[in-house]
Amino acid sequence: MDAQVGLVVIVEDEHAIADVERLYLTRAGFGVETVADGAAAIGVIRARRPVAIVLDVGLPGMDGIELCRRLRAEDDWTPIIFVTARDDEIEKLVALELGGDDYLTKPFSPRELVTRLKVVLRRTHGPASRNGITLGALTLDPDRRSATLRGADLVLTATEFDLLAYLARSPGRVFTREQLLASVWGQADYASGRTVDVHIAQLRSKLGAGSGIRTVRGVGYALDQPADVASHAVRSAV
């Protein structure tokens, strides 16, 4: 393991599943702490500051969706991989809209969980380009993983930042959903095109009017220079 080694908090009420997840993540070099309910997890996450959270949706009491909502409201953007027993597209989209970075449906391979987690952390903590990206009023710093629009900070999830940076590196170029899935998410066969659509919608909301994100019907998306107009959402979280 490299720079992504760190503590992962697993929030899972099914002990057998939590044990398997802990075993595989420990073998991969991560420190692991498990919590069985959402209310207790809030305190653990605040105290321990993990590098990532593996979060079950169907928790007793406070469910995973509400836990994610509270963390994001506190400006905590620790990467979250949701897991759920239901293959519900609406639930998946809500989880992503709230700031989830990835989503797995039970039953899943624990090796796939480790791979997904490494991909998310590689994007967040891996080697970054030393060159900043400037496109009109938009500036991205890959080293600090920070973004500003017209001088104001943009609050972005790890996935939103990487998607925006990928588009901004090739302004005006049209990318298919499959290309974006492969390049930003790390592989193209596990996520649907709707995953890209949700993140594009979130970026448009945060960039505000004149975002510069262009839809090419039947193809995909491109980023043109954002218009020099005021944004109403530069500090809004998901």
Instruction: Specify if 166 maps to a domain.
Output: yes
* The pLDDT value given to residue 103: 85
Task: Decide which of 87, 102, 125 is a domain's last residue.
Answer: 125
CATH of residue 202: 1.10.10.10
Do 13 and 117 fall within a single domain? yes
Do 59 and 148 fall within a single domain? no
* The pLDDT value given to residue 26: 93
Rounded Cα gap, residues 126 and 16, in angstroms: 32
* The pLDDT value given to residue 3: 40
Q: Which residues of the chain carry a pLDDT beneath 70?
A: 1-5, 87-90, 124-131, 187-193, 226-238
* The pLDDT value given to residue 189: 53
Instruction: Specify if 234 maps to a domain.
Output: no
Tell me the residue range of the domain where 176 lies.
133-223
Do 201 and 106 fall within a single domain? no
Rounded Cα gap, residues 124 and 216, in angstroms: 29
Do 18 and 119 fall within a single domain? yes
Rounded Cα gap, residues 31 and 51, in angstroms: 10
* The pLDDT value given to residue 208: 86
Instruction: Decide: helix, strand or coil at residue 215.
Output: strand
Do 115 and 181 fall within a single domain? no
Instruction: Specify if 145 maps to a domain.
Output: yes
* The pLDDT value given to residue 82: 92
Residues 6+ apart with CB under 8 A from 124: 51, 79, 145, 158
Number of domains comprising the chain: 2
